[in-house]
Amino acid sequence: MTTAASARDWTRYVRFSSTPGSEDAEYGQPVDDSLDVGLALSQGKPVEVFPLTGRDLPFDGKVDRSTTKRIGHLLSPVSRSQLGGPIRCLGINFRKHVEEAGLELPKVPVMFMKGPHALSGPGDLYVPKFVYAAEKPQLDFEAELAVVISRDARDVPREQAMEYVLGFTSANDVTARLEQFKQSQWNFGKGIDNFCPLGPCLASPDSFDPFSVESKGTLNGEVMQQGNTSDHIFDARATIAYLSQGTTLPKGSVILLGTPEGIGWFREPQKLMKEGDTFTVWHAGPIGSLINTIRYEK
CA–CA distance, 271 with 262 (Å, rounded to integer)? 10
- Alpha helices, H only, the chain: 37-42, 95-101, 129-132, 177-180, 187-190, 236-243
The number of beta carbons lying within 10 Å of the beta carbon of residue 89 is 29
What is the domain partition of the chain in residue ranges? 79-296
Q: What is the pTM of this model?
A: 0.95
What is the predicted pLDDT for the residue at 19? Answer: 80
Position 4 scores a pLDDT of 47
Q: Give residue 20's pLDDT.
A: 74
Q: What is the Cα–Cα distance from 284 to 25, expressed in whole angstroms?
A: 26
Q: How far apart are CA 4 and CA 39, in angstroms?
A: 31
pLDDT of residue 99: 85
> Does the domain formed by 79-296 have CATH 3.40.50.2300?
no
**pLDDT means over runs of 10, the chain (298 residues):** 62 92 87 98 97 95 97 96 96 88 90 97 98 96 98 98 98 97 92 98 97 98 97 97 98 97 95 98 98 97
d(CA 277, CA 271): 11
Please tell me the predicted confidence (pLDDT) of residue 5: 52
160: exposed, middle or buried (C-beta count within 10 Å: 0-12, 13-18, 19+)? middle
